[in-house]
Amino acid sequence: MTTWRARVLTPASPTEVRWLDDAAVVHEHGRFTEIGPYDGRPVDEDLRPGVLLPGFVDAHVHFPQTRIVGSASGPLLDWLERSTFPEEARFADVGHAAAVAEHFVQRLAAAGTTLSFAYGSVHAEAAEALFATLARAGLRAIAGPVLMDAHSPEPLLRRVERALPDLLGLVERWHGHDGRLEVAVIPRFALSCTPRMLREAGRLAAENGLWVSTHLSENTVECEVACERFGARDYLSIYEDAGMLTERSVYAHCIHLSDDEWSRFAAAGAVVAHCPDSNDFLGSGGMPVGVVRGRSIPLAIGTDVAAGRSFRVPRILSSAYDNGLRCGVTLTPEELLWMGTRGGALALGHPQVGALEVGLEADACLFLPPPWSEDAAAVLASLIFDHDARPMARTWVRGEQVWRAPGA
């Protein structure tokens, strides 16, 4: 049993937070057992003036792009060709993959991210290195290699006959590992897959109860080429026909969908990974967050590193705020915190995390706001909108420390 004394800020509902300016927080066997006003008891550690927050959830991030953050060569299809594919080809080298995996996991932990949905390169060996690193570091993740078997540089192609058995091997070794790791089925996007690859991927995900994730309707040229190549009536139908539109599907971007596509998306219970900073950086367009909210579609926030420029989910929440304004929706800081923590965790099927609540698993991070931040509003302002904020001081998963900033 460990008892902390700290200031506490946690989402209490999609629109409300709970704030305790002096709290006792107890966790035992990886779960919170008590969170309430400090009552004078002895503590193991006094974390004040730090503010304890739930760990953040990053619903869309690319592990092999860790070293190309900030490579400005959009729009999407040019960026893939110039910046992304050459870097991802290097992940055929397992040594390179292992070194980047280490860096990637550190960047997540330093950002206070305790659960991520991480895309790999096409190489199962690189994904193996990522899972091994995540297992050692103690982070929670849903991850897998991307599937690509068409219209991409030769070194990044893996045919169905090799890619899917490799993926099943990863499932055997890592799916469910320590209750923290899950293997996902990740066709990169329609433009890098044959119809057969998409169908087989959809089938494999359904048969094994795995999450499936891909990019959807990010860029207008991408949408046109995809519909043309597949002879599809709209972009969503390409994935729908492959059995990939279910409540275990996470779609990144979702910018240029029609009303009809949104209706089918909502009816299926699929999840939006909203990547507003990436959408800005590549000039992809705005995600209609009002439509998503109006239809009660589950939403989680994605940094989309490296088309996104930061591993810090709170930094991306600031972009989500700006995106909202441009679509006529004013999101409150309380709503934004929900999206980046509890809302994201629920959307990704992790009801056991995402808030500081008795009974939930003790995933948390410690934020050091400026000394004059004395209430929830001031802490949220600093956390989300002060882009010069420091990395998290500490991060824990199930009460085990996974990150401590130098000097913290």
Closer CB to Zn ion, residue 304 or residue 335? Answer: 304
Output 213 or 395, the one with its CB closest to Zn ion: 213
Report in angstroms how near the CB of residue 275 gets to Zn ion at its nearest.
7
How far apart are the C-alpha atoms of 83 and 85, rounded to whole Å? 6
From the CB of 404, what's the least distance to Zn ion, in Å? 30
Q: Are 47 and 5 in contact (CB under 8 A)?
A: yes
d(CA 396, CA 147): 32
Three-state secondary-structure class, residue 253? strand
Q: Do residues 251 and 271 make contact, with C-beta atoms less than 8 angstroms apart?
A: yes
Specify the stretch interacting with Zn ion by CB under 5 A; choose among 223-231, 257-265, 302-310, 358-366: 302-310
Nearer to Zn ion, 60 or 342 (CB): 60
Helix axes 195-208, 160-174, angle to 10 degrees: 20
- At 239, the amino acid letter reads Y
Nearer to Zn ion, 50 or 308 (CB): 308
Number of residues that bind Zn ion (CB under 5 A): 2
Considering the complex, state which of residue 87 and residue 304 has its C-beta at the smaller distance from Zn ion.
304
Residues paired with 115 in a beta bridge: 57, 140
The yes or no reply on residue 58 touching Zn ion (CB under 5 A) is no
Amino acid occupying residue 347: A
Choose the stretch contacting Zn ion; rule: CB under 5 A; options: 303-311, 330-338, 352-360, 369-377.
Answer: 303-311
CA-to-CA distance for 373 and 380, rounded, in angstroms? Answer: 9
Residue that has been written with the tokens 């409540």 in this structure? 247
Cβ proximity to Zn ion: between 54 and 302 the closer is: 302
| Distance in angstroms (rounded) separating the CA atoms of residues 5 and 47 | 6
Instruction: Report d(CA 65, CA 73) in Å as an integer.
Output: 14
Nearest distance from C-beta of residue 188 to Zn ion, angstroms: 9
What CA–CA distance (Å, rounded) separates 364 from 2?
A: 14
By beta-carbon proximity to Zn ion, the closer residue of 302 and 343 is 302
Nearest residue to the partner Zn ion, using Cβ? 304
Report in angstroms how near the CB of residue 344 gets to Zn ion at its nearest: 16
Distance in Å, CB of 278 to Zn ion, minimum: 7
String marking each residue 252-271 x if it binds Zn ion according to CB under 5 A:
x-------------------
Nearest CB to Zn ion, comparing residues 58 and 304: 304
Print the binding letters for residues 381-400 with Zn ion: x by CB under 5 A, - otherwise.
--------------------
Determine phi and psi for 210, rounding to 5 degrees: -100, 155
Q: Is the dihedral of CA 302, 105, 193, 270 positive or negative?
A: negative
Which range, of 134-142, 164-172, 297-305, 338-346, touches Zn ion by CB under 5 A?
297-305
Out of 87, 240, 304, 361, name the contact with Zn ion by CB under 5 A: 304
d(CA 364, CA 50) in angstroms, rounded, equals 12
Identify the DSSP state of 151: S
Q: Which stretch binds Zn ion (CB under 5 A): 100-108, 195-203, 230-238, 246-254?
A: 246-254
Residue closer to Zn ion (CB basis): 52 or 193:
193
For the bound state, the minimum distance from the C-beta of residue 382 to Zn ion, rounded and expressed in Å, comes to 28
Enumerate residues 315-374 that contact Zn ion by CB under 5 A.
Answer: none
194 or 213, CB closer to Zn ion? 213
> Could you tell me the smallest distance in angstroms from the CB atom of residue 62 to Zn ion?
6
CB of 38 to Zn ion, least distance (A): 43
- Packing angle, helices 124-137 and 160-174, rounded to 10: 20
Report which secondary-structure segment, H or E, holds 402: strand 400-404
- Helix ranges restricted to H, 271-385: 276-281, 289-294, 313-326, 333-340, 342-347, 376-380
Note the residues at the interface with Zn ion (CB under 5 A): 252, 304
